[in-house]
Amino acid sequence: MKRTYIKDLGQNVGQEVMISGWVDVRRDQGKMVFMDMRDMTGKVQVVVLPSHAEAIEQVKEVRTEWVLNVTGLVNKRPERNVKAGVLNGDIEMEITSIEVLNKSETVPFDIGGDTREINEEVRLKYRYVDLRSDRMQKNIRNRHKVIKHIRDFLDKENFIEVETPMLTKSTPEGSRDYVVPARLYPGKFYALPQSPQQYKQLLMTAGVEKYFQIARCMRDEDTRGDRQPEFTQLDMELSFVKREDVMELNEKLLIDLVTKLYPEKKIQQVPFPRLTYTEAMEKYGNDKPDLRENKEDPNLLAFSWVIDFPFFEKTDNGGWTFTHNPFSRPKPEHVEWLMKKENIGEILTTQYDVALNGFEIGGGSIRNHNGEALRKVFEVMGHEGADIDKNFGHMMSAFSLGTPPHGGIAWGLDRLVMLLQNEPNIREVIPFAKTGEGKDPMMDSPSEISDEQLLELNIKTLKK
C-alpha cells in the first residue's frame, strides 16, 4: 500500500490507508491504546482497539520515537472529541496493523516541549533528536521558505545564481582565514572563503551583471556567543548601478519577504528610515540602532539603513585599516582624496548597512572597479607594491580588462531568520550548529588526524 502523508488524511475518511512516521505520544488505556503519530507534515491520533487482536499485541511493545508503518481506517471523531483549529482534530485512525521499521532507546531529552530549556551542549550532541521538536522543525522549514522566496524573487529580477569556489586564496582582507593544506603542493595552502567578495566582483568582469548566491562563509574568529565558524549569506552583486539602486532592490525584497511569509509581523516604517553613520552614533551610540517604538512587541520589525560610513579608521599602532571592506568605492566627491591619499580620516565610503531591531542584517557598497583606486586603498593601509600584486594581482588584472561599475550587498541569512523566527540566537536556526566555542559535540570536532595524514600533508604539529 502506498504511503499517505498525515496532512492528507482528512481527504481519506472512510478509507484504509498507511502512514509512516514516529510515535510522538503513547497512551495505554488498558483495553485500547492511543498514540499520536508524527511525520514531516503533521500529527494525527491513532487508536488500537481490542477487536484488532494482532495490532493490540504489536502495540504492547511500541514506545515513543519508534519508527512505524501503521495501516488503518480513517474515521470521523465523535462530535464531543473534535479539536477545532488543529490539523486532523476532527479525525483519527483506527489501526489494523503495525510494522516496526526501527526501535528507539529512550531519547536523551524530551522533545515534546520547548527544547531551549535543555542544556545546549546536550541538544547539539543529539541535534538529530532536537531537530524533531515542533519548534526546530518550524525553524528549519521556514528557513527553507525564506531562501526559496529569495531565489524566486531574484530570478524574476533577472539574477542568476552562480556558485563560487570553496577552495580559494588566503588574502589579507578581513578576519582570520581557515586554511587547507594542498597535498599536491607541499607547503602551500588553500583558504576557505570568508565571503565570495572577490569572486562576485570577478563575475561582474565576466559580464554576469546580476549575480546572487546563497553562500557558505567561514571565518576563524575568536569565540563569541552568537558567532559561528561557518555561516550563510545571501550574496549579490549588480553591474551598472549606483548606491540607490542596490538599496531600493533590497528594501523591496525584504518587504516582499516579510509580507508574504510573515504576515503576522508589522514593518514599522516604509520606506525604511535612513541615518548617516554620524547620526546613528550621536543619537543611539551604535551603527545598528534599534528603532522599535515598542521593544516588547516581537512582531514589530524596525528596519533602517545606515549610510556614509568612514572608509578608514586608525589601528592600535597608528596606521589605517578599512572599516568595512577594502573593495569599497569612496563617495564620488571623495575619490580624489583617496587618489592623492589625503584627508584619509574624512573619506566617506559608499557603504550601506541595513539594520533590524538592533542587529546588522546586511551590508554592502559600490565597489572600486578601477585598479589604481584599489591599489591606493591598500597603500593607505600600509601594504607595499609587491605585496599588493602578490595578494590582489588577479583583481588588478581583471580591472584592467573591462570591468563595469558595480556594487552589491550580503545579508547575514542566519541572523535574519533568527529575528523572523523570534529566536534568541543564530544557533536555533542553523540545523547543525556549533557551540559558541566553535565545537561540534555531535561529530566531536575539531579532532586530531592521524600521523599518516599529517605525513601525507607534510605537516608537523607542535605541542604547547
Q: What is the set of domains in the chain, with CATH numbers?
A: 6-102 (2.40.50.140), 125-309+351-369+404-429 (3.30.930.10)
pLDDT reading at 464 higher than 80:
no
Residue type, 221: E
**Residues 40-86: tens digit of each pLDDT:** 999 999 999 999 999 999 999 999 999 999 999 999 999 999 999 99
How many angstroms separate the Cα of 241 from the Cα of each of 140, 173, 204, 396? 34, 24, 12, 21
Residue 173 has pLDDT above 80, yes or no: no
pLDDT of residue 222: 81
Q: Where on the phi/psi map is residue 384: left (φ > 0), alpha (ψ -120 to 50), or beta?
A: beta
Question: Residue 271, preceding bond cis, omega within 30 degrees?
Answer: yes
Mean per-residue pLDDT of the chain: 95
CB distance 335 to 312 below 8 Å = no
C-alpha grid cell, residue 94: 483506527
Q: What is the DSSP letter of 176?
A: P
Residue 171 has pLDDT above 90, yes or no: no
pLDDT class of 172 with cuts at 50, 70, 90: confident
d(CA 215, CA 317): 34
Residue 291 per-residue DSSP state: -
What are the pLDDT digits (tens) for 322-331? 888 899 999 9
What is the three-class DSSP state of 322? strand
With vertex at residue 128, the alpha carbon angle to CA 126 and CA 133, rounded to the nearest 5 degrees, is 100
What is the DSSP annotation of 134-158? HHHHHHHHHHHHHHHHHHHHHHHTT
Rounded to a whole number of angstroms, the CA Rg of the chain reads 28
Asked if residue 436 has pLDDT above 80, the reply is yes
pLDDT tens-digit map of 255-269: 999 999 999 999 999
Residue 119, all three cell numbers = 542544556
- The beta-strand segments (E) located in 203-295 are 210-218, 230-239, 266-267, 274-276
What pLDDT is recorded for position 217?
Answer: 96
pTM, two decimal places: 0.95
User: Tens of pLDDT along 387-413?
Assistant: 899 989 999 999 999 999 999 999 999
Please say whether the beta carbons of 334 and 309 come within 8 A: no
pLDDT for 316: 85
- The 8 Å CB, 24+ separation contacts for 271-277 are 272/303, 272/304, 272/305, 272/354, 273/304, 273/305, 274/304, 274/305, 274/306, 274/307, 275/304, 275/305, 275/306, 275/307, 276/306, 276/307, 276/308, 277/306, 277/307, 277/308, 277/309, 277/310
Q: Which is more confidently placed, 125 or 30?
A: 125
DSSP 375-432: HHHHHHTT--HHHHHHHHHHHHHHHTS-PPPEEEEEEEHHHHHHHHTT-SSGGGGSTT
Residue 221: pLDDT band by 50, 70, 90 thresholds?
A: confident
Separation between Cα atoms, residue 61 and residue 119, nearest integer Å: 30
Residue 225 clears pLDDT 80, i.e. is over it: no
129-150 pLDDT per residue, tens: 999 999 999 999 999 999 999 9
Mean pLDDT of 24-52: 95
Q: Is the pLDDT of residue 337 over 90?
A: yes
